[in-house]
């Protein structure tokens, strides 16, 4: 380290021994507080209004009032709102994919940054959450992958926002990859896929449910249903990105 290097927070300084401060996407040097360079950050496709108040799906046009999309209007969703600040496209999709399937654990940092931006959304801002809960992976899938990406993200958000995190849910079925199913099949595939963990208590709590990406919202809705059936007062969801 050069003599005139700025003082670092101890953990970040330690981490920088293993992960030199380079942009996680294009490897140009970055400031110690950043994980992506400015150019790469700006490539991340941010969701801008108008978007569905329930599932954050953006629309073209100039609607200014709050609305729910046709997709949300025609089904029962058990969360109050699922908030994402970015679309899962381009650099966002690529980094989440490498984090999740390429075992590039250090990429949880830029992904957690995108997730944390949801806390500035008016649907979440100023709300008090008693508990942050990650969408669980089936234990066999977790062993296979080595980690639950939603849990790592929930943990990061919990630390930043000073809200307790607990693995309150468990996944019972090792379901096949969801992408091969249409929406009705996904719903059936998910039914009774989750339950409250033994000794987890969510009664009377306001829960913030976390996943990496929202695809159809079915998984988040099914988790929210289980949490509310167990007595949670409300369930909001936040993801790093949405399809
Ligand atoms: Zn870059
Ligand atoms: Zn919607």
C-beta separation of 241 from 114 below 8 A: yes
Ligand nearest to the CA of 27: 1
How many residues are given for the chain? 243
Give the position of tokens 């969510």: 202
C-beta separation of 179 from 218 below 8 A: no
Ligand nearest to the CA of 29: 1
Beta strand pairing call for 206-214 and 82-84? unpaired
Ligand nearest to the CA of 220: 2
- Whole-number Å distance, alpha carbon 178 to ligand 2 midpoint, is 19
Ligand nearest to the CA of 67: 2
pLDDT value of residue 149: 97
- Whole-number Å distance, alpha carbon 215 to ligand 1 midpoint, is 26
- Whole-number Å distance, alpha carbon 25 to ligand 1 midpoint, is 5
Band of the pLDDT at 2, cuts 50, 70, 90? very low
Tell me the mean pLDDT in the region 6-15: 60
Ligand nearest to the CA of 91: 1
Tell me the mean pLDDT in the region 82-106: 96
Beta strand pairing call for 131-134 and 206-214? parallel
The span from the CA of 7 to the CA of 30, in Å, is: 15
Please tell me the pTM assigned to this model.
0.87
- Whole-number Å distance, alpha carbon 242 to ligand 2 midpoint, is 11
- Whole-number Å distance, alpha carbon 241 to ligand 1 midpoint, is 19
Query: Is the model's pLDDT at 238 over the cut of 60?
Result: yes
- Whole-number Å distance, alpha carbon 71 to ligand 2 midpoint, is 6
Query: Is the model's pLDDT at 92 over the cut of 80?
Result: yes
């Amino acid at each position: 380290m050069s003599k005139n290097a700025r003082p670092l927070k101890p953990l970040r300084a330690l981490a920088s021994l293993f992960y030199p401060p380079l942009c996680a996407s294009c490897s140009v040097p970055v400031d110690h507080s950043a994980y992506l360079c400015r150019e790469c950050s700006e490539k991340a496709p941010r969701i801008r209004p108008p978007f569905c108040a329930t599932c954050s799906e953006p629309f073209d046009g100039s609607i200014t009032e709050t609305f729910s999309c046709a997709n949300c209007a025609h089904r029962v969703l058990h969360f109050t709102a699922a908030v994402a600040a970015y679309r899962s496209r381009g650099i966002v999709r690529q980094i989440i994919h490498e984090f999740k399937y390429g075992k590039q654990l250090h990429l949880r940092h830029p992904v957690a940054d995108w997730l944390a931006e949801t806390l500035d959304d008016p649907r979440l801002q100023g709300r008090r959450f008693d508990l942050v809960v990650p969408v669980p992976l089936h234990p066999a899938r977790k062993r296979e992958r080595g980690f639950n990406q939603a849990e790592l993200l929930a943990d990061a958000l919990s630390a930043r926002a000073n809200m307790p995190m607990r693995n309150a849910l468990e996944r019972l079925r090792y379901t096949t990859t969801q992408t091969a199913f249409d929406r009705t099949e996904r719903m059936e595939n998910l039914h009774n896929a989750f339950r409250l963990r033994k000794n987890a208590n969510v009664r009377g709590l306001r829960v913030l449910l976390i996943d990496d990406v929202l695809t159809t919202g079915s998984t988040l809705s099914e988790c929210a249903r289980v949490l509310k059936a167990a007595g949670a007062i409300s369930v909001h969801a936040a993801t790093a990105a949405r399809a």
